[in-house]
Amino acid sequence: MSPTTFPVGILASSVLKSSASFESIATYTVSSSLVTTIRFGSIPQNFKHLQVRAISRDTRPGTTINNYHLQLNDDSSTNYSTQSLWTDSSTVTAGGDPNQNKSDYFIEPSANLTPNVFAASVWDILDYSNTSKFKTIRAIGGFDNNGNGRINFSGAGWRSLDAVTSLTFTNSSVSNFAQYTSYALYGIKG
């Protein structure tokens, strides 16, 4: 069968981007469970967008799921708005918060969940170096715990015209990131 006989959607979805479209900037892996913050600083400004790929878990006791947060350029003023849609095995929930001091609603498993269950997530920070527009963050993530897990779709806005030069990830309740949590930062070329 020639490629021209495939439906257009199949052709579009099967086109692979060149590996040169993404460039690794930095990677951080937690070697112990004493890390409360994961930070990427001095981000180069020669890409169109940024992407973070993570596997994560935290050490917060007494709960199975915890939120974690992202701040851009260490900005802790109320310049963030976050919206999220998440689902577990039986419920779909939506939430949103304007005027926050960090982007929120990103989820990961906590200490009371089955050991060695980690969330996987991908974050895009769009037009991060553009000083003529506010920044947009979108994320997708989730985990499975033998059929009982969660999937999360989130979007956030950072109301600043500054170019993004640092990303800081923290957990709710000042808990630590668990050992083997890993974050990788990539630049996406235009």
Instruction: Say yes or no to pLDDT of 138 above 50.
Output: yes
Instruction: Give the DSSP letter string of the chain.
Output: --GGGS-HHHHHHHPPPPGGGEEEEEEEE-SSS-B-EEEE-S--S-SSEEEEEEEE-B--TT-SEEEEEEEETT--SS-EEEEEEEE-SS-EEEEEEEEESSEEEEEEE-TTS-TT--EEEEEEEETTT-TTS-EEEEEEEEE-STT--EEEEEEEEE---SPP--EEEEEGGGPPBPTT-EEEEEEE--
Q: Which pLDDT tens digit goes with each residue over 167-176?
A: 999 988 778 9
Q: Which pLDDT tens digit goes with each residue over 79-120?
A: 999 999 999 878 999 999 999 988 877 788 888 888 889 999
Predicted confidence at residue 160, as pLDDT, reads 98
* Average model confidence (pLDDT) across the chain: 87
Domains detected in the chain: 24-188 (2.60.120)
